[in-house]
Amino acid sequence: MKVTIITVCKNSESTIEKAVSSVFSQTYKEIEYVVVDGASTDRTLDIIREHEDKIDNIISEPDSGIYDAMNKGLTNSSGDAIFFLNADDYFHDDQILADIAEEFSRDNSAGIVYGNVVMFDGSSEKLVKHDNVSHLYFYKNTICHQAVFAKRDIYEEVGNFDEKYMFHADVDWIMRAYFTQEINERFRYIDRNICYYSAGGVTSDPVLAEKYKYDRQEISAKYFVEARIKLRIKKILMKLGLYR
């Protein structure tokens, strides 16, 4: 099977080399690599161009955000399975794609194969395992998108990322997939570290921080009554100017 890796980036000159190199080092070679650059103004695109002989599709143009770029990557890809590797992340080792392809081949009914991530912040690392996922798990948690490989037909059924969610469109996508019964039955967990995932903070801007929390509450409210009630109360308080 052909595995598409999509990297979206913007002004990522300090990390992009490590990300793309972790793709090139994979022992599995049936790879389509798509890089979507948001019109970087630093050396990001220059670094990418140094490897253009090993990249199938390079897109560099302004976008409206990371999920717009990710959707462009989907549109401009053709692999049987798809994975998003962000510009400040990198694969755990060079056997990842080989193991994932083997898992999909072993179980033809699998639609989403996911594992673990190693979260790092520059000074420490933390292993995040997704080995105990259930419906209730998604009330406040999610499966890190950097641990998820999904077949193309899953994207065709679930749809693209909803760009109205500035920070959580990947969470929304995973939950749409998981809460669709036919797709839920095609989730497969493997106890395998997939990538190193940068744990950079969202933002210190209080307005954006509130948007970060609100979007997550709105997504949870689609599936959980308690979240729906809390969100309704919050909206009333906001309308009355009483929410702090």
Domains and CATH numbers, the chain: 3-200 (3.90.550.10), 201-244 (no CATH)
For the ranges 79-88, 127-136, 171-180, 207-216, which has the lowest average pLDDT?
Answer: 207-216
Quick: pLDDT tens for 94-130. 999 999 999 999 999 999 999 999 999 878 999 999 9
The per-residue pLDDT for 242 is: 73
The closest of 32, 23, 24, 34 to 2, measured between CA atoms, is 32
- Is the pLDDT at 207 greater than 90? The verdict is no
SS3 assignment, position 173 = helix
Rounded CA gap, 91 and 169, in Å? Answer: 22
Q: Given a cut of 60, is residue 202 above it in pLDDT?
A: no
Cα distance between residue 117 and residue 124, in whole Å? 14
Q: What pLDDT, on a 0 to 100 scale, did the predictor assign at position 33? A: 98
- What was the pLDDT predicted at 79? 97
Can you name the residues that pair with 35 across neighbouring β-strands? Answer: 7, 58
Provide the whole-model pTM.
0.94
Contact 84, 8 (CB under 8 A): yes
